[in-house]
């Protein structure tokens, strides 16, 4: 009985997690919009918080429709998810592309270690994530920040290594990534797949 219940609930978990993460990000995003931009402001996420939240909700609906054998409704949800994800990636790419970002040199000064799990009878070893802390200069002033990029490998980042950061003089923000061609390619592919899925739905309905 418990196994049957778990098999019914498990497919909903990814959608629920994405929805909850998106909800938290939306709250943070709304708070940040009220703040004055500063040198340590983080860059935008790959997917906008609203896209994450609604994507999670649609994924839950998709799972529900699949369990009810409603194939058309499930395909509509999948189409919206794919098109929304594709547009979000493309928007991210072109938004970064049009910003006048200046590359600045940064140096790793410390490694911040975050423990994800402790060693137990099930997990044979503790798990950690490592974040580089860097220093850099802007207009003659020195700043420091903990980067968002991270790695599970202890030796991925080393003190003294150089990194590229990107400075937006209009907003005073520091970004760790520039417009990457991978965003453009991934966004285009996902959008096209979503559009094709939408056309297949129309062929079924019509």
Question: Is residue 123 scored above 70 in pLDDT?
Answer: no
Question: Is residue 158 scored above 50 in pLDDT?
Answer: yes
* Residue 39, pLDDT score: 38
Clarify whether residues 6 and 93 are in a common domain.
Answer: yes
pLDDT single digits (tens) 17-62: 988 888 887 877 777 666 544 433 445 567 778 888 999 999 999 9
Clarify whether residues 78 and 105 are in a common domain.
Answer: no
Contact call for residues 197 and 82 (beta carbons, < 8 A): yes
Clarify whether residues 20 and 92 are in a common domain.
Answer: yes
Clarify whether residues 154 and 57 are in a common domain.
Answer: no
Q: Is residue 34 part of a domain?
A: yes
What is the domain range of residue 114?
A: 101-169
Clarify whether residues 105 and 94 are in a common domain.
Answer: no
- Name the pTM for this structure: 0.71
Clarify whether residues 149 and 49 are in a common domain.
Answer: no
Clarify whether residues 77 and 112 are in a common domain.
Answer: no
pLDDT single digits (tens) 129-151: 999 999 999 988 999 999 888 88
Q: Is residue 174 part of a domain?
A: no
pLDDT single digits (tens) 54-74: 999 999 999 999 999 998 999
Residues 6+ positions from 7 with CB-CB distance below 8 Å:
none
Clarify whether residues 42 and 121 are in a common domain.
Answer: no
The whole-angstrom separation of Cα 193 and Cα 202 is: 14
């Amino acid at each position: 009985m418990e196994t049957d219940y778990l098999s019914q609930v498990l497919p909903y978990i990814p959608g629920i997690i994405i929805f909850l993460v998106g909800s938290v990000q939306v709250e943070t995003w709304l708070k940040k919009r009220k703040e004055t931009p500063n040198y340590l402001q983080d860059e935008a996420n790959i997917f906008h918080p609203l896209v994450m939240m609604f994507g999670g909700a649609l994924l839950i609906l998709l799972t529900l429709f699949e369990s009810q054998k409603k194939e058309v409704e499930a395909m509509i949800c999948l189409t919206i998810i794919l098109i929304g994800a594709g547009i979000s990636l493309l928007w991210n790419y072109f938004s970064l592309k049009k910003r006048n970002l200046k590359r600045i040199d940064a140096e790793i000064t410390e490694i911040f270690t975050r423990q994800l799990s402790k060693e137990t009878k099930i997990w044979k070893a503790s798990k950690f994530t490592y974040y580089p802390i860097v220093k850099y200069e802007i207009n003659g002033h020195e700043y420091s920040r903990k980067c968002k990029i991270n790695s599970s490998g202890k030796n991925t980042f080393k003190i003294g290594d150089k990194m590229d950061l990107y400075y937006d003089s209009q907003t005073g923000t520091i970004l760790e990534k520039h417009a990457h061609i991978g965003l453009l390619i991934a966004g285009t592919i996902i959008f096209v797949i979503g559009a094709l899925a939408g056309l297949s739905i129309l062929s079924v309905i019509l």
